[in-house]
Amino acid sequence: MKGNNKNMFASKVGAILAAAGSAVGLGNVWRFPTEAGAHGGAAFILIYVIFMMFFALPVMITEFAIGRHGGNDVTHAFEKMSGGKRGWRWMGLLPVVSGIFVLSYYAVVAGWTLFYTYEALVDGFSGKSSEDFAADFVAFSSDSLQPVFWMAVIVAMTCGIVALGVQRGIERGAKIMMPLLFLFILVLVACSLTLPNAGDGMRFLFHPDFSKVDGSLVLSAMGQAFFSLSVGLGCLCTYACYFRKDVDLMKDGQSVACIDTLVALLSGLIIFPAVYSIPGLQPDAGPPLVFITLPNVFQQVFGGVPWLAYLFSLLFYLLLVMAALTSSISMLEMSAAYFHKNLRLPRPLAAVVVSLVCMLFGTFCSWSFGDWRDVTLFGMGFFDLFDFFVAKLIMPIGGLLMCIFVGWVVDERVLRAEITNNGTLRSPLYPLYRFIIRYLAPVGIFLIFANELGLLDFLK
């Protein structure tokens, strides 16, 4: 395949950065610390890393294989890989549907980060007390217009990049934003580790308390691993359609998983030392952790040096915005690709149509923090419902189905040829990978669900 085909990633680095861009996102910098904080820190992280290695990473490689085998059309990739078995055809719609669901609620939080970047830029944080931060966040997030506006701005930015196409939009965006993101993270970690009581934050992150381990922790750790690597929705299938034939899928998967885990841990190293630097603050503040607790911390700790407080806040929220954007781009692409290729809409129009749908659902999700607080389904508001549906249902079930598909339905020779680039790569881990997707991952994912549904209670 030629590198100058503008519907493919031009380079191997571009492919890795785009996939890493999808993986590294609010899931790392916002959701991971929130979940780790809520589940006692290190024990959660340990289980999360195990899920990453043995479940999420193999599913990621599986998605890569399905997508690249499909060659530029994710909707028919499943059918093609199964050798024409029509029963698996409907799986091609998975990315279309889940792209809309995930972007709709993700964009709400992404919008918050954009608003906070704006606030940081105009120095809106200085002189505020911790009560002000809490009250302002609640007032902002429950407002019926403001957060909807910022959500729409983020979706519009995403739309602009996706409309530019695979090379000029997605790949170039990742090549610019990912290195910047790393730079910001390193600066912020260095600052955070010099704060008073940074050791307590480190201990929270790295000293496990196993008494905290229960079924809900395990399910959350699995959900987080899948969410963080963007697997189970068909997002990486979509990107892998644009991979060149000489990309080493196993190696790329490993690189992306390493980058993603590293960014999550480094985010923990920014956030928890900061939280512990002020006596009395708790790491389990929940979702508002990075919107209430942190800006307050930045003001208090650097209170004596206002320009440092300004810089630290601005860098942190810019980091969040970039992380969110590289992920939201991949979410929009999942659905837009379908409208573009299968319904033959021009790419920009396809991106706009999907964006408008996401803005509508995103508005509902945003309102569930305010006016629609009491509108619930299965006991959850829209935002929580979308998050639960995506991270705790579609991702593991999608991952399970993909493992069964590639492990049991697809001809083994086809899979081997895809993973080893037609026998030109050695891929020594291939047998282990195949064992995991045939047995370990499906059984593991199933057991966790069964436990959650109470089917294993007789064992207790």
Site track 71-110 with ligand PHE (rule: CB under 6 A), x = hit: -------------------------------x--------
Q: Identify which of residues 60 and 249 has a Cβ nearer to ligand PHE in the complex.
A: 60
Which of 147, 108, 173 shows the shortest CA–CA distance to 330? 173
The least CB distance from residue 18 to ligand PHE, in Å, is: 11
How many residues make contact with ligand PHE (CB under 6 A)?
15
Position among 34, 82, 104, 228 found at the interface with ligand PHE (CB under 6 A)? 228
Contact criterion met (CB below 8 Å) for 205 and 45: yes
The contacts of residue 350 (CB under 8 Å, 6+ apart) are 336, 337, 338, 339, 340, 343
Written in H, E and C, the secondary structure of 307-353 is HHHHHHHHHHHHHHHHHHHHHHHHHHHHHHHHHHHCCCCCHHHHHHH
Mask for 286-325, x = binds ligand PHE (CB under 6 A): ----------------------------------------
- Residue closer to ligand PHE by CB (options 228, 293) is 228
Whole-number Å distance between alpha carbons of 233 and 95: 6
| DSSP result, 163-225 | HH-IIIIIIHHHHHHHHHHHHHHHHHHHHHHTSTTHHHHHHHHHS--GGG--HHHHHHHHHHH
* Cα→Cα distances 413→60, 183, 211, 441, Å: 19, 42, 45, 21
Which is nearer to ligand PHE, 27 or 41 (by Cβ)?
27
User: Does 235 engage in binding with ligand PHE (CB under 6 A)?
Assistant: yes
- Closest approach of ligand PHE to the CB of residue 132, in Å: 29
Asked if 327 interacts with ligand PHE (CB under 6 A), we say yes
Please tell me the distance from the alpha carbon of residue 337 to that of residue 345, in angstroms, as a whole number: 9
* Shortest reach from residue 328's CB to ligand PHE, in Å: 8
Q: Which of the ranges 70-78, 170-178, 227-235, 237-245 carries the binding residues for ligand PHE, by CB under 6 A?
A: 227-235
**Nearest alpha carbon to residue 384 among 49, 88, 140, 104:** 104
Q: Footprint of ligand PHE on residues 20-59 (CB under 6 A)?
A: 22-23, 25-28
Binding part of the chain for ligand PHE, among 172-180, 224-232, 355-363, 442-450 by CB under 6 A, reads: 224-232
User: In whole angstroms, what is the distance from residue 133 CA to residue 125 CA?
Assistant: 8
The end-to-end CA distance of the chain, in Å, is: 55
Structure token pair of residue 56: 């999420």
Q: Chain centroid to CA 252: how far?
A: 17
Cβ proximity to ligand PHE, 233 vs 259, nearer residue: 233
Scanning 116-124, 196-204, 223-231, 291-299 for contacts with ligand PHE by CB under 6 A, the matching segment is: 223-231
Nearer Cβ to ligand PHE, position 17 or 23?
A: 23
The minimum distance between CB 26 and ligand PHE, in angstroms, equals 5
Residue closer to ligand PHE by CB (options 109, 191) is 109
7-26 binders of ligand PHE (CB under 6 A): 22-23, 25-26
* Smaller CB separation from ligand PHE, 158 or 327: 327
Determine, following the binding rule CB under 6 A, whether residue 169 of this chain makes contact with ligand PHE.
Answer: no
Q: Min. distance of Cβ 21 from ligand PHE in angstroms? A: 9
Q: Give least dist CB 32 to ligand PHE, A.
A: 8
Taking CB under 6 A as the rule, does residue 331 contact ligand PHE? Answer: yes
- Choice between 25 and 381, CB closer to ligand PHE: 25
Taking each helix axis from N to C end, the angle separating 57-70 and 395-404, rounded to the nearest 10 degrees, works out to 60
Kindly state the smallest distance separating residue 24's Cβ from ligand PHE, in Å: 6
Please state the separation of Cα 211 from the chain's center in Å: 28
Looking at 230, 261, 277, 293, which residue binds ligand PHE (CB under 6 A)?
Answer: 230
Q: For Cα atoms 361, 52, 39, give the angle at the middle one, nearest 5 degrees.
A: 70
Give the CA-trace dihedral at 382, 386, 24, 300, to 10 degrees: 30
> In the set 227, 239, 272, 291, which binds ligand PHE (CB under 6 A)?
227
The residue ranges that bind ligand PHE (CB under 6 A) are 22-23, 25-28, 102, 227-228, 230, 233, 235, 327, 330-331
